[in-house]
Structure 1
């Protein structure tokens, strides 16, 4: 009795979910191994909270018990803004011009999966940043949030980070690494002040107060601040963040396509 030859089976490709997990792990390891990046995204928000937040809490806290949680979420918003600008602005620009994205395009790994892995790693690292900031605020200033409220605020902040990530991708795909580094610094600082993250908008010039609603961090701040004070969040803030996501997302995709056409 003869048996027909069997066709050799091709090795199974790892699932996209497994590949995504490996990308997230690799990106997290890259972030952790860069001490200056960790200091900038975790240390600076804590330092700014100590410099700008603690004096206000000690002076106004007895008269306004909500000031501590509000300041906490404001500096949390700055932390996420800074992380998005550098992780998706400066880093993506460097990987794009350094040939890493060109290598990925020639591999079976889809570019959207690469970007999804960076987003996943950024969200995980952002959660760590929020935890460190909350821990410092709790022990240094006595700022306390319930577990349910802490989780709710953290989820809203991470969701509101999406347009900031899209803005970072715009910088990464449309500028050179040198320009991206400068823009990341300028955008994170200027938007933070102009959005009321470091000081009340009422103390800023009139033109800055009028400009603030046109900046994504302003709406991130409003969503988080209303969550900790118990006020209803106006749907306008979420709609504005959605509009920013679409605008920056389209520009980032256009920049990515332009980059691909140049390589072709």
Structure 2
């Protein structure tokens, strides 16, 4: 890892620590849902709480990745310092790796409290090979949500990104059926959920962790979303480069 990447990582981490709103939000909201709305009702049902924990881990990754990257990139685009940094000889690669490493710290802040609560206060359990497989699936989910955050950061202003983060997580989670089981989900949610990236992300982690079959449509659509979000990120970055530095 280059010294430039480490320098950008340290700077971004210090900046986030000085304004810890994002860390507190992504750490407290998912684990708060876990403690108050999940554990009291299904905490001792091993199968249900294991699936519920996996779903909340995906929700935490969604909040962490989209929240961090969309705001970080939008803020960098609109700041004088950000414009200056992008003209330095090191190029964009170490800067992006710096954002990525800090994003992983934010993801850890989101999911570790959930796993601690699940391990200490519930009957959640899974074989070690399944846990490792689920960790690999979660990495794919993190890539997807990171691309979503990057695309938002390059295509939105700072103000719009903040608004989108304030109101966007819940609709994505609800539309993806994250807060419903098969018996309680409204029919229209079941119809649209397979086409929403949060459903594919949840299904990918669940099938890795539990081995229970899930719909193929959601997994195929997740791959489609990865391609679409990657294309939007590249296009947004190039458009921003032309507008600011052409």
Length-normalised TM-score, structure 2: 0.88
SS of aligned partner of 2:177: coil
Matches within 5 A, 1:149-188: 149-188=130-169
The 1-side partners of 2:182 and 2:65 are apart by: 23
Length-normalised TM-score, structure 1: 0.83
TM superposition shift of 1:168: 1.0
The 2-side partners of 1:242 and 1:112 are apart by: 24
Partner of 2:74: 93
The 1-side partners of 2:127 and 2:210 are apart by: 13
State whether residues 123 and 158 of structure 1, in contact with CA within 8 Å, keep that contact through their aligned partners in structure 2. Answer: no
SS of aligned partner of 1:203: coil
State whether residues 153 and 161 of structure 2, in contact with CA within 8 Å, keep that contact through their aligned partners in structure 1. Answer: yes
Larger radius of gyration: 1
Matches within 5 A, 1:164-243: 164-200=145-181, 202-231=183-212, 238-243=219-224
The 1-side partners of 2:241 and 2:23 are apart by: 31
Query: Is 1:255 the equivalent of 2:240?
Result: no
Structure 1 unmatched ranges of 5 or more: 1-15
The 2-side partners of 1:233 and 1:120 are apart by: 31
State whether residues 68 and 106 of structure 2, in contact with CA within 8 Å, keep that contact through their aligned partners in structure 1. Answer: no
Matches within 5 A, 1:73-84: 73-84=54-65
User: Is the alpha carbon distance of 1:231 and 1:209 closer, same or farther for their aligned partners in structure 2, counting shifts above 3 Å?
Assistant: closer
Partner of 1:244: 225
SS of aligned partner of 1:108: coil
The 2-side partners of 1:195 and 1:71 are apart by: 14
Partner of 2:15: 30
TM superposition shift of 1:87: 0.6
Partner of 1:43: 28
The 2-side partners of 1:111 and 1:169 are apart by: 13
State whether residues 173 and 259 of structure 1, in contact with CA within 8 Å, keep that contact through their aligned partners in structure 2. Answer: yes
